[in-house]
């Protein structure tokens, strides 16, 4: 009986975690570049009940019993968000549709080889920024400039150019700067590159699931350094473009989030009623049956 009580309680905890995840998604509906999170439920380690011992571990097994579920991780959905026009020259958005030869990704950006079961994830493009902890990556292009003309993120971290340096505009105003589709900064009146020919450092992350959220739209890459490569946006086969005067909106589906939050609430209530049933049963067992 207690096993069922623990199972229902674990269900309540997992639905609470799912509810919190969806609530966070809804709270970031208007956050530029925000990527939706999905809570993943997994079974507790299976309990194997053995009736007979023997050299073959499969001998004598009566079966396996799961002790409930646990929302142990949140996975990002890295799909492209809609673009919102702002007409602000320091706002930039990435249009990313990177392909891999011979692979057709599903809506979640994943491909499973039918023969080997190997999983391949859709690469995604990111701006590169510099923080005191090292390089980080973001899709939030709501940039601004410091008094000395250095291009930084909304919270003050430098945007990195292709040579690993900062991007500094000190000879002309930003109203005269045009950012081309391949990330180059040029003088809008002459069409010529600015001093030092600054160009945004746009990188491709081969497996976005290896990114860790660091807050405020920043990500840290924890995989093999070979999994990140600098993109040449002048090559049309890269299928990535910079759009000046636009921001990428959150990719959260507000309608689906409303459905998910109600589903989590109903599942939580169902598990709560199971806990209440077990509580009443234990009460009877202790106070009524025990007295007889």
Mean pLDDT along residues 17-35:
92
- Express each pLDDT in 181-234 by its tens digit: 999 999 888 888 887 778 999 999 999 989 999 988 899 998 889 999 999 999
**Torsion 257-259-265-270 (CA) sign:** negative
- Express each pLDDT in 112-155 by its tens digit: 988 888 989 999 999 999 999 999 999 999 999 998 889 999 99
pLDDT of 30 > 80? The answer is: yes
- Express each pLDDT in 128-137 by its tens digit: 999 999 999 9
Model pTM score: 0.82
pLDDT of 268 > 80? The answer is: yes
Give the model's pLDDT for residue 68: 64
Mean pLDDT along residues 270-277:
90
User: What mean pLDDT value characterizes the chain?
Assistant: 85
Q: Where are the domains of the chain?
A: 2-76+253-289, 83-248
d(CA 120, CA 203): 18
d(CA 123, CA 160): 20
pLDDT of 10 > 70? The answer is: yes
């Amino acid at each position: 009986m207690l096993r069922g009580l623990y199972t229902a309680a674990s269900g309540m905890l997992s639905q609470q975690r799912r509810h919190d995840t969806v609530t966070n998604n809804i709270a970031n509906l208007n956050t530029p570049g925000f990527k939706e999170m999905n809570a993943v439920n997994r079974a507790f380690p299976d309990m194997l009940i053995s009736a007979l011992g023997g050299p073959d571990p499969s001998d004598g097994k009566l079966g396996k019993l799961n002790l409930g579920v646990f929302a142990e991780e949140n996975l990002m959905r890295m799909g492209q968000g809609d673009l919102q026009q702002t007409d602000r020259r320091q706002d930039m958005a990435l249009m990313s549709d990177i392909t891999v030869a011979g692979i057709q990704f599903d809506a979640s950006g994943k491909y499973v080889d039918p023969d080997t079961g190997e999983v391949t994830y859709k690469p995604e493009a990111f701006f590169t920024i510099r923080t005191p902890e090292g390089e980080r990556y973001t899709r939030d292009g709501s940039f601004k400039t410091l008094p000395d003309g250095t291009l930084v993120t909304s919270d003050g971290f430098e945007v990195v150019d292709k040579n690993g340096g900062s991007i500094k505009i000190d000879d002309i105003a930003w109203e005269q700067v045009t950012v081309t589709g391949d990330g180059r900064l040029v003088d809008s009146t002459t069409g010529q590159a600015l001093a030092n020919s600054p160009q945004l450092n746009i990188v491709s992350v081969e497996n976005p699931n290896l990114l860790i959220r660091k807050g405020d739209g920043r990500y840290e890459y924890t995989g093999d350094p070979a999994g990140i490569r600098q993109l040449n946006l002048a090559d049309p086969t890269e299928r990535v473009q910079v759009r000046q005067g636009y921001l990428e909106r959150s990719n959260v589906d507000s309608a689906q989030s409303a459905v998910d939050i109600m589903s989590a609430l109903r599942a939580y209530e169902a598990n709560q009623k199971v806990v209440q049933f077990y509580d009443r049963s234990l009460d009877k067992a202790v106070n009524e049956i025990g007295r007889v």
